[in-house]
Structures are given as C-alpha cells and as structure tokens.
C-alpha cells in the first residue's frame, strides 16, 4: 500500500519535530516564523537567515531546521542533489526554486502544527 506525498510530509515533519533535542523554544519560534519569512522575502533569503543565525556553529536550532529542510528537499528530488541547499537554490532554475519554495511551505505547515502540539509555546505566539 503506497502513501501520498502529504502523508510522507506529515510523517517526516513529526519525526523531525519530536526528535529535536536542543533549545525547543527557539526551534518552535523558527518553525513558526519561517513561513512568513519565505512569503515576504523568498526561500533563498529565509535559508540564508537560518545560516546566519547559526553563526557557523552547526548546533543551533537554526542549523537543525536548515538541515531538516535540506534533507527533505534533497530526498524527494525537489531540488538538485548535493551537499548544500543554499548553493543548489542559487544555481538552479526558476522552476526548481519555486517548486522548492512551495514544498518547503507545505512541509513547514506540518512542522508548525507538530511544534505547537509537542514543544513549548513559541515566542510571540
């Protein structure tokens, strides 16, 4: 029996949110705010924000969220494969970029629902 992409998206989101072990409040805040950042500024700038917020530590909630988005987008062949999401977004064509943005928003919808249910209340919400 096969699952729909929506079921796969929800399953992945649940696993990522419930499996997060760092600063849950900051993570929940990022998950809640990232969709608006994407809609206002585009996926590339929102991803760049996550990388800047992490300050190269690769341990902050912003890095974890970046890595989670990258894994989902790469594993579902939505964006080019490789080792770096931001580079793939900047080097891909408009159609790939828009598809990745749309898919990221759909995934974040699930992540936000699970974060609100599982994690401490996000700041400002």
Number of neighbouring beta carbons within 10 Å of residue 101: 21
Would you call 2 exposed, middle or buried from its count of C-beta atoms within 10 A (0-12, 13-18, 19+)? exposed
∠ CA 35-66-6, nearest 5°, is 60
Instruction: Check whether 19 has a pLDDT greater than 70.
Output: yes
3-state helix/strand/coil string of 61-76: HHHHHHHHHHHHHHHC
Instruction: Check whether 14 has a pLDDT greater than 90.
Output: yes
Q: pLDDT tens-digit profile of 63-114? A: 999 999 999 999 876 677 667 899 988 888 899 899 999 999 999 999 999 9
Which long-range CB contacts under 8 A does 2-6 form with residues at least 24 apart?
Answer: 5/76, 6/106
Contacts of residue 87, Cβ cutoff 8 Å, sequence gap at least 6: none
Output the six-digit token pair for 70.
């990258």
pLDDT of residue 121: 56
Instruction: Check whether 10 has a pLDDT greater than 80.
Output: yes
Would you call 30 exposed, middle or buried from its count of C-beta atoms within 10 A (0-12, 13-18, 19+)? buried
**Size (the chain), residues:** 125
User: What is the domain class of 23-117 according to CATH?
Assistant: mainly alpha
Q: pLDDT tens-digit profile of 31-67? A: 999 999 999 999 999 999 999 998 878 889 999 999 9
**Where are the domains positioned within the chain?**
23-117
pLDDT of residue 1: 67
């Amino acid at each position: 029996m096969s699952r729909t992409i929506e079921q796969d998206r929800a399953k992945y989101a649940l696993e990522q949110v419930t499996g997060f072990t760092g600063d849950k409040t900051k993570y929940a805040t990022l998950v809640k705010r990232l969709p608006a950042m994407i809609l206002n500024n585009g996926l590339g700038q929102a991803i760049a924000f996550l990388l800047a917020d992490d300050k190269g530590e690769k341990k902050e909630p912003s890095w974890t969220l970046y890595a989670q988005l990258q894994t989902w987008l790469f594993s579902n062949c939505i964006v080019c494969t490789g080792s770096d999401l931001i580079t793939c977004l900047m080097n891909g064509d408009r159609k790939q970029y828009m598809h990745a943005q749309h898919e990221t928003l759909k995934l974040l919808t699930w992540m936000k629902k699970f974060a609100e249910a599982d994690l401490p209340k996000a700041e400002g919400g």
